[in-house]
Amino acid sequence: MKRYPKTNAFWCAGDAMALEVFKQLKSNNTEDILIGGFDWLPEVLKEIETGNITASVGGHFLMTTSALVKIVDYHHGVGSFTSPSIMNQYEIITQENVSEYLDFMNDKAWNKIDFAEFLHSKYSAPPELSVKNMIKQLEQ
C-alpha cells in the first residue's frame, strides 16, 4: 500500500498469502478492497463467508482425478488425451456460494465420492468432474 496506495485488488498465488494480505490491511478500511487467492483453505473460506476476503479459486486438486478418469476411459476405448481442457477447469468460491462448499471442504468429503459416475466408459453422458457435481452426488 505504501508503494501503490491506490491499489484496491490483491490477487494472490495462494490463499495463505490472501489471508496475510487481509491481516496486514485489517487496520485500513478493507470494504472497497478485493482480496483473493487459490487453494480453498478452510480459514479463507471462513473469511469469505464473513466478507473479509472476496474469493478463492480452487478445484485444481481434481487435476489428478481427471487424469485418472481419462486413463480408465482410455483403457476402455473411450476418449483420448488430445484435449487438456478438462484438466484446466477451476471453480470460484465467493460469499454468494461459500455455504455450498464449506461442509464438503471441511469434511474432506471427496473421500466419499464414487468417481465411477464420471467415467464415459461407464455412462454415455456422465456429469462433468467438478466439485459442484461431487457435492450433488453426495446430496443424492
Q: Supply the pTM of this predicted model.
A: 0.79
Please tell me whether residue 119 adopts helix, strand or coil conformation: coil
Q: How many separate domains does the chain show?
A: 2
What average pLDDT score do residues 26-37 get?
Answer: 79
Name the grid cell of 43: 480459514
- Could you tell me if 109 and 138 are in contact, meaning their C-beta atoms sit under 8 angstroms apart? yes
Answer whether residue 8 shows pLDDT above 80: yes
Instruction: Report the pLDDT value the prediction gives residue 84, as an integer from 0 to 100.
Output: 57
Predicted confidence (pLDDT) per residue in 123-136, tens digit: 888 888 888 899 99
Same domain, 31 and 81: no
pLDDT of 87 reads 46
Rounded Cα–Cα distance for residues 65 and 87 (Å): 9
Q: Is the model more confident about 49 or about 111?
A: 49
Asked if 63 and 112 sit in the same domain, the reply is: yes
CA distance 42 to 29: 24
Same domain, 30 and 77: no
How many helices (H) and strands (E) would you count in the chain?
5, 4
Region 28-43: what's the mean pLDDT? Answer: 85
Report helix, strand or coil for 137.
helix
Give the pLDDT confidence of 57-115 residue by residue, as tens digits: 998 777 777 778 888 888 888 876 665 555 457 889 999 999 999 988 888 888 889 99
Range of the domain at 105: 59-90+97-140
112 and 74: one domain?
yes
Please work out, in degrees rounded to the nearest 5, the angle formed at the alpha carbon of residue 88 by the alpha carbons of 85 and 89: 100
Q: Do 119 and 126 meet the contact criterion of CB atoms below 8 Å apart?
A: yes
